[in-house]
Amino acid sequence: MIAANLVTQSVVPLRTSDTGQEALSIMSDFYVRHLPIVNNEQLLGLVSEDDILNQDIEEAVGSFQLSNNHPYINEQDHLYEALRMMYEHQLTVIPVVDNEGNYIGLITQEDLLRYFANIGSFNEPGSIIVLEMSKRDYTLVEIARIVESENAAILSSFITSSLDSTHIDVTIKINRQEIQRIKAAFERFDYTIKASFQEVEYYDSLKERYDSFLSYLNV
């Protein structure tokens, strides 16, 4: 999935002549805290709510000093790059440009969250197992083989790691609600099970947090 597939033009970019007050109004309308400044098709920068509040809101945004160093992604970039940029710069939107560098729209934090929630098999029934291991011992092929030996399948997986640690957590979602046999299989192969969650106890909690976060974004 590339950025072009998720880009939206529904959030109106700012012109250099728009005032800080007008920018705050647009941010409020679209529930975001950042907006791109565009001159015709040229992306000039990204203004934040804090940038505006720290200056004279009656002045044009074209005269503002911006705190963000012109973050953007190309329409051909993978959505992982959008996620990285938004996390790195703490953004609620990320501008998207074409191969000529022209502004074509943006991706919102909410749209990106919805996308990753869907590809993460959030709505698929199943259970969660978290395995702890050293980085050098990680092999998804071996983990999948153990799961499949118990007539189950991995729906999705992701790794949580820290730069200052030699260990990782591997979180896998499995298409089975009864996972005792799978857990026993992992233990036979000396895997450390850090946590496990069955669908009934985990799905409701995760969905409640997901819905609460979306409600927060829409406040």
Taking only the tens of pLDDT, the chain with its 219 residues reads 899 999 999 998 999 999 999 999 999 999 999 999 999 899 999 999 999 999 999 999 999 988 877 899 999 999 889 989 998 999 999 999 999 999 999 999 999 988 877 776 666 778 999 999 999 999 999 999 999 999 999 988 889 887 778 999 999 999 998 999 999 999 999 999 999 987 655 555 556 666 666 666 554
Q: For the chain, how far is it from start to end, CA to CA, in angstroms?
A: 29
Of the candidates 97, 3, 88, which has an alpha carbon nearest to the alpha carbon of residue 45?
97
**Residue numbers of the domain that contains 14:** 3-116
- Global pTM reads 0.68
95 and 168 both lie in a single domain: no
> pLDDT at position 123, please?
66
Query: Can you give the CATH number for the domain in which 73 is found?
Result: 3.10.580.10
Does 30 fall in a domain?
yes
77 and 145 both lie in a single domain: no
126 and 186 both lie in a single domain: yes
**CB neighbourhood size of 135 (10 A):** 11
Which of 89, 116, 143 is a domain's end point? 116
Residues 6+ apart with CB under 8 A from 155: 121, 124, 126, 173, 174, 175
User: C-alpha dihedral over 118, 120, 121, 125, to 10 degrees?
Assistant: -130
Count of structural domains within the chain:
2
Does 66 fall in a domain?
yes
Placement of tokens 């609620």 in the chain: 92
The helix/strand/coil state of 209 is helix
Token readout for 146 is 């153990």
> pLDDT at position 207, please?
60
Rounded to a whole number, what is the largest CA-CA distance in the chain?
68
Of the candidates 86, 91, 81, 95, which has an alpha carbon nearest to the alpha carbon of residue 37?
95
> pLDDT at position 145, please?
97
Rounded distance, CA 170 to CA 161, Å? 9
At CA 109, angle to CA 26 and CA 41, rounded to 5? 55
> pLDDT at position 115, please?
84
The helix/strand/coil state of 7 is coil
107 and 126 both lie in a single domain: no
Phi and psi at residue 196, in whole multiples of 5°?
-150, 145
Of the candidates 29, 27, 30, 73, which has an alpha carbon nearest to the alpha carbon of residue 47?
27
Q: Strand pairing partners for 175? A: none
> pLDDT at position 161, please?
84
